[in-house]
Amino acid sequence: MPKVCRACEARHGGICSVLTGSQLAELNKHSNRKSIDGGTELVGQGENIGTYSNIVRGVVKLSKMMADGRQQIVGLQFAPDFLGRPFSHESSLTAEAATNTEVCAFPRAVLERMIADTPELEHRLYDQSLKELDEARDWMLTLGRKTAREKVASFLHLIATHVDPDAGDGCEFELPLSRADIADFLGLTIETVSRQMTKLRKDKIILVENNRHVIVPDIENLNEAAGND
């Protein structure tokens, strides 16, 4: 097994976990680790897709933009997620690093060949896409039917559960997104996000330090504010 893979997150929870040693070596021969600053675009909407990646560290936002500039974030991906849309050569969305990010990139052709003769790999990818579909549909409920307050609480709850999946009742984290990004994720404006954060703060549901650092004393209160039964 290649030594870069040994401590790699994708080797554990990611798609590489289903590959054999020789497949890992083969993929590794063509793969390429990159560090990416927050704000950098990885793939543009409508662009040709030449490479797929695994997210090794950081958070990537997937977004769609309308002709007049209105924007919607349609998904967040965390390490060790696979990044790409197999079997489509043109991207229907933009992928941009939200935080400083590290990815492991490999050419499309190499992976697609490997998919073709490794059912377990395709199964693993299918599994991720089903997970993403569940998440997208959950978010559709949030976008379509929740109030601004519930939307902001839902976002904080999402981050809280992703950063620290097995926390007890309380938890604490850095927001990976700016207010502008949060607004684009929730279908709101920056101002509304800010106002609702302030209200949640006043209601003691969260504590905020330095704008980006959030403390949740009781995750169940946050879940309730998010409108989840």
Partner DNA sequence: CGAATTTTTGACTTCCATCAAGTGTAGTGG
Partner DNA sequence: CCACTACACTTGATGGAAGTCAAAAATTCG
Using CB under 7 A as the binding rule, whether residue 108 contacts DNA is answered as no
Give me the residues that bind a second copy (CB under 8 A), please: 62, 64, 66-68, 70-72, 74-75, 85-88, 92-93, 119, 122-123, 125-127, 129-130, 132-134, 136-141, 143-146, 186-187, 227-229
Please tell me the distance from the alpha carbon of residue 4 to that of residue 170, in angstroms, as a whole number. 35
Using CB under 7 A as the binding rule, whether residue 131 contacts DNA is answered as no
Half-sphere exposure of 105 (CA within 13 A, CB side): 14
Q: Name the token pair of 89.
A: 């050569």
Q: How far is the CB of 206 from DNA (least distance, A)?
A: 11
Using CB under 7 A as the binding rule, whether residue 210 contacts DNA is answered as yes
Using CB under 7 A as the binding rule, whether residue 100 contacts DNA is answered as no
The phi, psi pair for 79, rounded to 5°, reads -60, 140
Using CB under 7 A as the binding rule, whether residue 143 contacts DNA is answered as no
Using CB under 7 A as the binding rule, whether residue 192 contacts DNA is answered as yes
Please tell me the distance from the alpha carbon of residue 151 to that of residue 70, in angstroms, as a whole number. 19
Task: Tell me which residue of 152, 134, 159 sits closest to 196, measured CA to CA.
Answer: 152
Please tell me the distance from the alpha carbon of residue 160 to that of residue 168, in angstroms, as a whole number. 11
Residue from 178, 218, 224, 227 that binds DNA (CB under 7 A)? 178
212 binds, among DNA, a second copy, none (CB under 5 to 8 A by kind): DNA
Please tell me the distance from the alpha carbon of residue 127 to that of residue 50, in angstroms, as a whole number. 23
Residue from 34, 64, 108, 195 that binds DNA (CB under 7 A)? 195
Q: How far is the CB of 226 from a second copy (least distance, A)?
A: 10
- Helix (H/G/I), strand (E/B), else coil: 5: helix
Of the two residues 140 and 180, which places its CB atom closer to DNA in the complex? 180
| Stretch of residues binding DNA (CB under 7 A), selected from 8-16, 118-126, 127-135, 194-202 | 194-202
Of the two residues 32 and 147, which places its CB atom closer to DNA in the complex? 147
Phi-psi domain of 161 (left: phi exceeds 0; alpha: psi -120 through 50; beta: other): alpha
Of the two residues 47 and 224, which places its CB atom closer to DNA in the complex? 224
Question: What is the torsion angle, in degrees rounded to the nearest 10, for the CA atoms of residue 169, residue 175, residue 180 and residue 181?
Answer: -90
Instruction: Give me the residues that bind DNA (CB under 7 A), please.
Output: 147-149, 178-180, 187-195, 197-198, 208, 210-212
